[in-house]
Structure 1
Amino acid sequence: MFDGMTELSTERRMWSLFEPVHAVSYFAPATRQAFEEAGLRGYWRGYFASRTAPMGAVSAGPVIGAFYGFAPGMVHRALPDVWTRITPQAALDARRVGAGHALAGAVAGLDGIEELAGLLREAASAAPCHGRVLGAANAALPWPEDPLEVVWHAATLLREHRGDGHLAALLVEGLDGCESMVWRIAVNGGAGREMAQPARGWTDEEWDAARDRLHQRGYLDGEGAATERSFSAYRTIEELTDRLAAGPWEALGPEATQRCERLLTPLATRVLAELPDYPVWIRLPAPATPAPGAS
């Protein structure tokens, strides 16, 4: 499987650790149960309610822009209908409570959660949010009081902040929403289309048209496999994504970042082991061994 990054940057190492903590929002049974108890049945209703709630009761338009890789038709099916079933505040409460329950088992026996909460909050609070729709929306929410919920909230803010920057990098490369999905699957050796395409709502016709456009521009060969241009684009996009995600860790400083990495690694490792449905095409690196010198 192609990765293209010979050495993980600080930004990418930290992403590999806070991403699993955020991902319980969508992939943990406890969060799905929390949405069902709030009266919202169906996975995708919970997903769209959870992720868009920080923006309020928005319609499909802003979400198509902010989510990028989702087919517009899929977004329209979810929004604004979901707001007739649950309020944004109820969705925010459900995702926070569900995430707390999902993480509770993973922290059993781990030390330093309060310290970790403080470090992650400091880093997330320093994330610059200009031009970051989802990052800014989450940054405007009040912080929870429970340390474990603080860890989750900080991870969510950092994840959406990095994600917003990643979409900017895709725009610079000139990849539209469907093209970005087809391209990512090709770079991944073709693995994951059977999950990614329906999960993002693209039809076969839309997927094949995007593949043809990428072939014409040199990203794919005649068989739909990634070319060197695709691999070069991957490296460029990931490097730009890292640069755009550097602010929180620069503000925290190298020693505190290393300490945060050390405390977060065992939690992320445990959480990731409990998320078997995590999308293969995202290619999340395994939680890295803390950098030398981390204390």
Structure 2
Amino acid sequence: MWSLYEPVHAVTYFADDALAAFEAAGLRGFWRGYFAGRSAPLGAVPAGPVLAAFYGFAPRMVTRALPDVWTRITPEAALAARLEGARRVLRKVDGDLTETASLLRAAAEAVDLHGRVLGAANAMLPWPDDPAGVLWQAATVLREHRGDGHLAALLVEGLDGVECNVWRVALRDGDGRDFYQPARGWTDEEWDAATDRLRTRGWVDASGRATEAARSACTAIEATTDALAATPWRVLGTDATARCAELLRPIAVQASRLLRHPNPIGLPALD
């Protein structure tokens, strides 16, 4: 289900119409829109809560964005811009948005909120009154809820913000450092030190590739993430979840085609 609702959510970051909505609201530059739009459900917070919730970003990158971005836009205006941009994109796709949005909303309304900072903040927002808006907001609640659980799994495994990025690249046989490192704001010194820590742990070999221990840990962390994200689908039920997936797939494929690839969250193209 994540692979189907994540492209729907991600239009707010990587689809041209959504980016234009942020620019029209006064946020020029990708990262201003990203930090303002994603953190807006928390209110006009300083860097600290966002640093904790976004996890994989270097502190300097977060403090450069916040609280400065709140001098350029209010959280309320950022919420309106992200929703309007997503609507513009999703109204272009073919499919039964009404039934899909209804099912995805039912799942989103079943998320458990304890310990889910971004998931809960998004879940408490008022629901839009149109199918495209509901579809996007439901996808957003579900992905942030899942993301909060994923961060908990990373914490239990003892991975810090830079280590989880190095580990991700190592799992790709060392491919992608030039893309992911600057996208998260880490210096060469920080990245190399994290690589050394993972190498000492037995997770990275001399060539920078993931060891079998690291791949086993990945499997375990993803399983924990799945388990922590299961409540909405258990509540929705097997048949309704299958129907939701059936309806969502063509919408997700079309949404994926409207995204910029590659992108800083590493979302692959969906065929």
If the length of structure 2 is used for normalisation, what is the TM-score? Answer: 0.97
Cα distance in 2 for residues equivalent to 1:218 and 1:281: 26
| Contact kept? 2:123, 2:141, Cα under 8 Å | yes
| Contact kept? 2:261, 2:269, Cα under 8 Å | no
Letter in 1 for 2:187: T
| Contact kept? 2:146, 2:229, Cα under 8 Å | yes
Aligned match for 1:54, one of 8, 21, 41: 41
Cα distance in 1 for residues equivalent to 2:135 and 2:245: 13
Letter in 1 for 2:68: D
Q: Unmatched 5+ residue regions in structure 1? A: 1-13, 288-295
Q: Which string of whole-angstrom CA distances, capped at 9 and with x for unpartnered residues, describes residues 148-192 of structure 1?
A: 110000000000000001111111111000000000110012222
Cα distance in 2 for residues equivalent to 1:164 and 1:284: 21
CA 1:129 to 1:285, structure 2 compared with 1: closer, same or farther past 3 Å? farther
Q: Which string of whole-angstrom CA distances, capped at 9 and with x for unpartnered residues, describes residues 236-292 of structure 1?
A: 0100000000000000000000000000000001111222324377465846xxxxx
Letter in 2 for 1:156: T
The aligned counterpart of 1:17 is: 4
Cα distance in 2 for residues equivalent to 1:188 and 1:136: 32
| Contact kept? 1:220, 1:226, Cα under 8 Å | yes
Q: CA shift at 1:62, angstroms?
A: 0.6
Instruction: Please tell me whether residue 244 in structure 1 is matched to residue 228 in structure 2.
Output: yes
Cα distance in 1 for residues equivalent to 2:57 and 2:87: 27
| Contact kept? 1:188, 1:281, Cα under 8 Å | no
Identity in percent:
62
How do 1:1-295 and structure 2 match up within 5 A? 14-107=1-94, 110=95, 112-279=96-263, 282=266, 284=268, 286=270
RMSD (CA atoms): 1.3
Farther off after superposition, 190-199 or 259-268: 190-199
Letter in 1 for 2:38: R
CA 1:280 to 1:50, structure 2 compared with 1: closer, same or farther past 3 Å? closer
CA 1:175 to 1:285, structure 2 compared with 1: closer, same or farther past 3 Å? farther
| Contact kept? 1:70, 1:178, Cα under 8 Å | yes
Give the paired residue count: 271
CA 1:79 to 1:158, structure 2 compared with 1: closer, same or farther past 3 Å? same
Q: CA shift at 1:221, angstroms?
A: 1.0
Farther off after superposition, 54-63 or 277-286: 277-286
| Contact kept? 1:170, 1:237, Cα under 8 Å | yes
